[in-house]
Amino acid sequence: MTFKPRDLQPERSARDLYGAEIRLRRARADNMSLTRLSEILNFSKAHLSRIETAESLPPRGLSEALDAAFGTDGIFLKLYPLARREEFPDKYRRFMALAAVATVHEEYAPIVPGLLQTREYAQALLSSSDPFGTDEEIADKLEARLKRQARVYAPRPPRYWFILDEGALRRPVGGPQIMYGQLGALLAAGRLRHATIQVLPYSVGEHSELMGGSLTLLTLPDRSMVPYEEGARSGTLIEDPESVTRRRALYDLLRAQGLPPKDSAEMIRAAQEEFSHAIRREGRPLAEE
């Protein structure tokens, strides 16, 4: 089967325009392959491919090298600051724009949601989810994720409701020390007046079609609702009215199955205590000691 490269829409985003320019210049250079271009630039072919398909931000220094390789007189250098402003790939950008204005944010997740992650937890998660990413790519994603958290602590924040699978408390992402700090951050977030945290315990058993994925419900200023479903490698905004109603019902069912906030906080404390024992068994002090 012939490989078909991902379609790019230069009019849609600066990331796409940057990638389209790379593809165009390769075509004009006797259909230069990505392999050959990576050799000329002394740059990872896999990373270069992700930049061309608008999945990754171009790193510092690449634009000058591309202009030199193609003789493009500063085109890539001019596009670089525009592309760097777009922290999220296009498939997430609309969701992020809606989340930035939502008045109510409800989320179910099998891991600690990005809005509640500590820097250390987020870095461990991002590094494991993209094992072939460069340090700069991971750092870019990390800063973009942490920047989103500012709205949780803003003067006039949305109403937040988080339902976490119990596995989010038990899986030692980054190790016991990082999990100890992460669970402490969850307890602190649960004390915010505008945030509610529930745990969906293992004892519930199977729980609808959301197992393994996450669901976010965004209520917008006009009171309309937009659900966003996310799997390991893809995310989908849902706007069909019937599907929106179904996602609302699924979330309400999870809310009914979850522990009350007070009991959820007790389970989080118990899990944190287990990690504290693991840290001490390793002969290491707790973060606050």
- Mean pLDDT confidence for 235-262: 91
Q: Show which of 37, 61, 84 is a domain's final residue.
A: 84
pLDDT-derived band at 2, boundaries 50, 70, 90: very low
Q: What is the pTM of this model?
A: 0.72
pLDDT digits (tens, 9 = 90+) for 177-195: 999 999 999 999 999 999 9
Residue 129 has pLDDT above 90, yes or no: no
pLDDT at 239 (0 to 100): 76
Radius of gyration of the chain from its Cα atoms, rounded to whole angstroms:
22
> Which residue did the predictor score with more confidence, 9 or 79?
79
> Which residue did the predictor score with more confidence, 171 or 213?
171
69 and 115 inside one domain: no
3-state helix, strand, coil in the chain (%, to 5): 55, 10, 35
122 and 76 inside one domain: no
pLDDT at 41 (0 to 100): 94
Beta carbons of 216 and 236 less than 8 angstroms apart: no
pLDDT at 116 (0 to 100): 98
Percent of the chain with pLDDT over 70: 89
**Tally of domains in the chain:** 2
Q: Show which of 38, 60, 84 is a domain's final residue.
A: 84
Residue 160 has pLDDT above 60, yes or no: yes
pLDDT digits (tens, 9 = 90+) for 10-58: 666 788 889 999 999 999 999 999 999 999 999 888 889 888 887 777 8
61 and 112 inside one domain: no
What per-residue string of b and e applies to 38-50 under the rule 16 or more CB within 10 Å gives b?
beebebeeebbbb
Does a structural domain hold residue 198?
yes
Q: Show which of 34, 67, 84 is a domain's final residue.
A: 84
How far apart are alpha carbons 73 and 63 in whole angstroms?
11
73 and 95 inside one domain: no
Q: Give the domain range for residue 35.
A: 14-84
* Measured distance between the N- and C-terminal CA atoms of the chain, rounded to whole angstroms: 60
pLDDT at 209 (0 to 100): 57
118 and 209 inside one domain: yes
235 and 215 inside one domain: yes
127 and 26 inside one domain: no
How far apart are alpha carbons 30 and 32 in whole angstroms?
5
What is the CATH number for 226? 3.30.870
54 and 104 inside one domain: no
Does a structural domain hold residue 3?
no
